[in-house]
Amino acid sequence: MLDAVWGADRFDRKPMDMASLALEYSLQTAPDEAIEVVEERHLPGCVGALVYGDAKPRRWGILYDKGQSPGRRAFTIAHEFGHYILHRHRVDEDHSLADGFYCDDEAVIQRDGIGIEEEADTFAADLLMPLHDMRGQIAGGRRADFDQLGKLAERYGVSLEAVIIRWLEYTETRAMLIVSNEGFAKWAKPSRPALRSGRYIRTKNEVFELPAMACAVTRDFTAVTKSGIDQAAGIWFSEPVIEMCFRSDRYDQEYTLLHFERQRDWSLDEEPQPDCVDRFAGNNS
């Protein structure tokens, strides 16, 4: 739909303006219960919220917490817009939503959310970083580095973390992102081929200490380590890896991207999941 309205080349011009899209789309499709405001507020314990007024038909508002980077803010607004599109009818059915949708950092994470939070995250990712466009920028069989992924983050107006997670969803290469601090992994996400080959790190309810030779531990943050260094078998896993690493002082954490060298040993054992564009094309829509 957005390709038809704004053109398939819209990202060549500028990232999506999520606030304007939420306001305009809701007004055009549901004028009696449109989103009236998208604004910054102090939201203790939350990064975003979808709230509504007392009168019926309800009027809605999207709020995002102060201090978010532009990329993080875009994803937060898209997440709350997802709640509006997919879940707003539930406020009459679910008493836990009587005050609206309030989403903390564990909800707007685009990794391990569940239920309606996972659905809102998926909606936001599909909207901001459509897979058909991403595949056109970085092909599925191509190994990506931080510079290439950073350019995609600028293209879509999202955080680098969000775009790497999105890339890991479709890449055919064996790769893994690890976010760490003080030598311990906060969380990690492998690509599907990496997971199928047994390459993953458990961080949920477990403590994973990074290898002593990991760049995040040695504090070796240079242009060379960001572009990739060879790590021998036995340092991270029982096979060699290419390790790319840099530190974000703003978020006080390190980003490590591992690429496993033997990329074609494990083939996908199921058909790729189509995105919305694939489904529309298949229906001749």
The pair of three-digit structure tokens given for residue 276, joined into one six-digit string: 């919305």
My answer on whether 116 and 195 are in the same domain is no
pLDDT exceeds 90 at position 226: yes
Residue 101: pLDDT band by 50, 70, 90 thresholds?
very high
Question: Whole domain around residue 14: which residue ranges?
Answer: 2-128
My answer on whether 76 and 189 are in the same domain is no
Residue 263 has what pLDDT? Answer: 57
Residue 279: pLDDT band by 50, 70, 90 thresholds?
very low
CATH number of the domain to which 192 belongs: 3.30.450
My answer on whether 103 and 43 are in the same domain is yes
Q: Is residue 272 part of a domain?
A: no
**Considering its fold, how many domains does the chain have in total?**
2
Residue 272 has what pLDDT? Answer: 44
Strand blocks (E) in the chain: 35-41, 48-52, 60-65, 101-103, 175-181, 184-190, 229-231, 241-248, 253-260
Tens of pLDDT, residues 24-46: 999 999 999 999 999 999 999 99
Residue 8 has what pLDDT? Answer: 86
Tens of pLDDT, residues 156-214: 999 999 999 999 999 999 999 999 999 999 999 999 999 999 999 999 889 999 999 99
My answer on whether 184 and 96 are in the same domain is no
My answer on whether 187 and 222 are in the same domain is yes
The CA–CA distances, whole Å, from 110 to 16, 98, 168, 178, 183 equal 18, 25, 12, 14, 23
Residue 112 has what pLDDT? Answer: 59
Q: What is the mean pLDDT of the chain?
A: 89
C-alpha distance across the termini of the chain, in Å = 10
My answer on whether 19 and 102 are in the same domain is yes
Q: Is residue 189 part of a domain?
A: yes
